Structure 1
Amino acid sequence: MLEKIQVLLQYLLPKYWITYLLGLGASWKGGWITRYAIQLFIHVYKIDMKEFDNPNPSNYTTFNEFFTRKLRNNSRPIDTNPSTLVIPADGIITQIGKINQTNIFQVKGIPYHLDGLLAGHDNIINYFNDGNFVIIYIPPQNCHRVYMPCTGTLREVLYIPGDLFSVHPKITKNIPNIFSRNERVICLFETDFGYMAQILVGTVIVGSIETAWLGAITPPREGIVKHWRYPNTSNIEDLIILQKGHEMGLFKLGSTVINLFDNKKVILNNLLQPYDIARIGMPLAQGCNQEK
């Protein structure tokens, strides 16, 4: 019954206004009020601050500074095998496996299609037919920064406007095609293991989605698709290359990351299953047909 009420509220609540107002609150320098709220958040969610670059809660002047806190160097060792792709975010693996032609997975008999997730962009969809995917949910208490599974050269970025349904696993299994309906930022990389898409999915309360090269992509929420291609000049120095384990983006509060991998170029770690804990740097997959 409670789950049904939570789903109903997703349709009834003014999610954009909630997100806007809480975003303002998260950027407010509230002095002792902010410090107390951060301390309470740490206590409730049992966050180990020793894992982070700035472990003293009193040093964060806003909730956004706290939400986007950086991990301490070496707190997440990155698997150094050049053929190993690594987990890009701390969180929970909600789905992982093969893409069946263009169907990513099914929830209650309803398939998720690449066409919807990638907003009908056939030039991107074709890379991932019969490929592999992983979906990682980032709870509010986790690090909200997202890292590269492998070294990649950025080719395209798409911002797709959409709804702001919660992406908590209890909600996603009850709202059809939620990842195709929510706002998202799709980043396409060319790697030694074929093409890889890293998709940052928006959700209620998330004040911002940022990438390392564009900064804040949302807000503003203008309701229009935005498309960037790289490099945007003929100068080779303008190539954007992100190394394995390097930061590629962040959320201001937790959300979901979806990775898509090229067909026959990546073999997923068969030890990983839905609801496993994900930790940045752990082996996610093995690349094959690596180009020298």
Structure 2
Amino acid sequence: MNDDQLLRYSRHILLPQIGIKGQETLIQSHVLVVGAGGLGSPAVLYLAASGVGKLTICDSDKVDLTNLQRQIAHSTDRIGIPKSDSAKKTLAGINPEVNVIALNERMDERGLLQLIRNADVVVDASDNFPTRYIINRVCTLYKKPLVSGAVVRFDGQVAVFDLRHAHSPCYHCLFPADGEDQDMRCAVMGVFAPLVGVIGCVQAAETLKILLDIGQTLNSRLLLLDGLSMEWRSIRLNKDPSCKVCGTNEYYPKSGS
């Protein structure tokens, strides 16, 4: 690291769990963030500020006035431009050393196969089950750590599915695709603005811990937050041996390519 980097990241370097070696690890890391909205905004802000060297941000939406109540990576003067581009501009002002790749498209399974294969950690900040299921399947294929978050109304949740470990459950174990779960979009249900910041920041923290291999992550746990009572609950998750994604080779019987 150069002198400017030593100064910029000095508060990290002071932490014995991180130090110079850990900060260098972050600088050399690549994180994929799917979604640049309520959850993705605080996540990418802290990942960039913390010095993650490469961030790929995927989002097909454009900034809308209704987003600005909670999506803090964007501003009023950017209404109408792609969210990924808006986030990139914001991050350049925070830490110009970070290489931000902005992808203004909704990624299908083929696109995610390439992106996830090249990432160290995947942050799922999307807002719909189909996208979450695709991300989970590809993370399972490549054994990539997945940091998943969701918020609706006054309720938030975050979990880590560290698929590098054989015992780890995947997202499909928790929410089977053939279950009765339905998307609860903010546009219909509403969302308490600060709550997406809390959950997005937890996603960023878990991502950094995974990259640094420090502490105990939320792997195999679901952390739930009731924003009205400000009470947290932690639920232990178990791998489903009959899971159609991580329990079999149903989706990718050969190489997955």
TM-score range (shorter-chain normalised) is: under 0.3
Structure 1 length as normaliser, TM-score?
0.23
TM-score relative to the length of structure 2: 0.25
Structure having greater relative contact order (Cα 8 Å, sep ≥ 6):
1
Larger Rg computed on CA atoms: 1
